[in-house]
Amino acid sequence: MNNNVHNLIIIGSGPAGYTAAIYAARANWNPILIEGPQLGGQLMTTTEVENFPGYPDGVEPFQMMDDLRRQAERFGTVFVSGVVTKVELGKPHKIWVEDTDVYETNALIIATGASAKYLGLPSETTYRGRGVSACATCDGFFYRKKTVAVVGGGDTACEEAQYLANLCEKVYLIVRKPFLRASQIMQDRVLNNPKIEVLFEHNTVRLTGEGKVQGADLVYRKGEPDEQLHHIAIDGFFLAIGHHPNTQLFRGMLETDEEGYLKTLADSQACIGAAGVFAAGDCCDPRYRQAIVAAGSGCKAALDADKYLKTL
Picking from 59, 71, 58, 63, the residue whose alpha carbon sits closest to that of residue 39 is: 63
Quickly list DSSP for 156-206.
HHHHHHHHHHTTSSEEEEEESSSS--S-HHHHHHHHT-TTEEEEETEEEEE
Strands (E), the chain: 6-11, 32-34, 78-80, 84-88, 93-97, 101-110, 114-116, 132-133, 147-151, 170-175, 196-200, 202-208, 215-220, 228-233, 236-239, 243-245, 277-279
Q: Which residue in the list 57, 135, 257, 283 is annotated as catalytic?
A: 135
List, in order, residues 6 or more apart from 121 with CB less than 8 Å away.
204, 205, 206, 207
> Does 138 participate in catalysis according to the annotation?
yes
Which amino acid, residue 197? E
Q: Which residue in the list 101, 138, 155, 188 is annotated as catalytic?
A: 138
Q: Is 267 helix (H, G, I), strand (E, B) or coil?
A: coil
* Ramachandran angles phi, psi of 285, nearest 5°: -130, 90
Looking at the chain, how many residues does it have? 312
* Ramachandran angles phi, psi of 117, nearest 5°: -85, 135
> Does 139 participate in catalysis according to the annotation?
yes
> Does 135 participate in catalysis according to the annotation?
yes
Report CA Rg, the chain. 21
Helices (H), 47-200: 61-74, 122-126, 136-139, 155-165, 184-191
d(CA 237, CA 172): 9
CA distances 53 to 81, 292, 293, 296, Å, are: 28, 8, 11, 12
Q: Which residue in the list 139, 282, 285, 306 is annotated as catalytic?
A: 139
Catalytic center residues:
135, 138-139
